[in-house]
């Protein structure tokens, strides 16, 4: 008589448990792979966005260092200076054949476009010409890539800019000593906060640069003294030789004012001179003007004329 051979194997419960474990391991592996792929994609996009912003800041810095004006000495290089909107004149790299634009000047604008999904593009707009004088017509009423407002070339300079969505909002452009008047701006700082995935990790990255406007005409400095003249009569010596132009040019005009008046004296009208006046206590002011039309005024103090 033969006995039945023993048969071994997994019970149904053991098989179900094994399948559940395998399923868990596979799902965990897939989840890890998906998370890794997502993080890798976000990091790649973030790096690309930051590289784009860096190149934009480098280009902006180069253009600001080459500020230009179509007319000698005229401080008209910066035309608009706001926290999120900057317009200025700079020298273009390539001059077209036959162009009458002697300095090859072009107009450039950097502005923040419309916000979408918590971020906005920084848009660069440009306007070029081949005639002698720059076209006065351009609009900054809106900022888009449509090329409206007289701008001939428009493109996105940097994507994923979140300056306006930060709390508090962070100005992209800051001006020294201030934004007004534009003729007195001596330096511009640009700050870009870039975030490809606002509200999620990683947080926004700050990229910045600062440029001293070496080609921008700066306001002159007025300085004067009013010693009593030792000659005959009731005379006061007016001396404005301490005044200077930061660019080293000769000042164009010297205007002297007496006792708070608003009309300049006819004489003297130069850097130094003698005022023939009357007895009493008198105050004097000096206003100087540079070759670009910028002025500065200072008090020379009071003197007692015997």
* Alpha-carbon span 179 to 80, nearest angstrom: 9
Q: Sign (positive/negative) of CA torsion 97, 101, 104, 109?
A: negative
Instruction: Read off the tokens for 161.
Output: 């800019």
Which residues belong to CATH 2.60.40 in the chain?
235-305
pLDDT per residue as tens digits for the range 185-227: 889 999 999 999 898 888 899 999 999 987 677 788 999 988 7
Do 284 and 261 meet the contact criterion of CB atoms below 8 Å apart?
no
Residue 200 carries which DSSP code? S
* Alpha-carbon span 60 to 56, nearest angstrom: 6
Confidence of residue 154 (pLDDT cuts 50, 70, 90): very high
Do 269 and 256 meet the contact criterion of CB atoms below 8 Å apart?
yes
Residue 184 carries which DSSP code? G
Contacting residues for 103 by C-beta, under 8 A, at least 6 apart: 68, 70, 91
Report the candidate in 86, 106, 89, 59 with the shortest Cα–Cα distance to residue 207: 59
- pLDDT for residue 163 is more than 90: yes
- pLDDT for residue 285 is more than 60: yes
pLDDT per residue as tens digits for the range 45-70: 889 999 999 999 999 999 998 887 66
- Could you tell me the CA-to-CA distances from 215 to 44, 65, 207, 246 in Å, in that order? 39, 7, 25, 11
3-state secondary structure of 111: strand
Q: What is the pLDDT of residue 73?
A: 60
pLDDT per residue as tens digits for the range 241-272: 999 988 788 999 999 999 998 999 988 888 99
- pLDDT for residue 299 is more than 90: yes
| Averaged pLDDT, 278-296 | 88
Fold of the domain built from segment(s) 235-305: Immunoglobulin-like (2.60.40)
């Amino acid at each position: 008589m033969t006995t039945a051979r023993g048969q071994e194997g997994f019970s149904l419960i053991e098989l179900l448990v094994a399948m559940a474990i395998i399923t868990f391991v596979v799902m965990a592996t897939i989840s890890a792979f998906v998370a890794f792929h997502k993080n890798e994609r976000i990091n790649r996009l973030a790096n690309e966005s930051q590289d784009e912003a860096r190149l934009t800041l480098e280009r902006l810095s180069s253009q600001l260092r080459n500020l230009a004006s179509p007319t000698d000495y005229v401080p008209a290089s910066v035309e608009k200076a706001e926290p999120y909107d900057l317009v200025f004149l700079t020298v273009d790299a390539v001059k077209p054949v036959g162009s009458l634009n002697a300095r090859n000047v072009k107009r450039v604008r950097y502005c923040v476009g419309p916000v979408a999904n918590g971020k906005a593009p920084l848009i660069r707009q440009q306007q070029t010409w081949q005639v002698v004088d720059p076209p006065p017509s351009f609009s900054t009423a809106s900022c888009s890539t449509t090329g409206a407002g007289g701008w001939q070339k428009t493109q996105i300079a940097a994507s994923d800019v979140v300056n306006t969505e930060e709390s508090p909002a962070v100005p992209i452009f800051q001006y020294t000593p201030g934004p007004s008047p534009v003729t007195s701006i001596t330096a511009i700082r640009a700050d870009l906060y870039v975030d490809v995935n606002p509200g999620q990790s990683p947080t926004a990255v700050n990229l910045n640069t600062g440029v001293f406007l070496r080609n921008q005409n700066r306001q002159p400095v007025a300085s004067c003294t009013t010693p009593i003249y030792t000659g005959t009569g009731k005379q006061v010596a007016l001396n404005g030789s301490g005044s200077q132009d930061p660019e080293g040019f000769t000042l164009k005009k010297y205007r002297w004012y007496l006792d708070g008046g608003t009309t300049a004296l006819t004489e003297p009208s130069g850097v130094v001179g003698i005022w023939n006046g009357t007895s009493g206590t008198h105050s004097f002011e000096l206003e100087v003007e540079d070759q670009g039309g910028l002025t500065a005024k200072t008090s020379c103090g009071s003197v007692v004329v015997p």
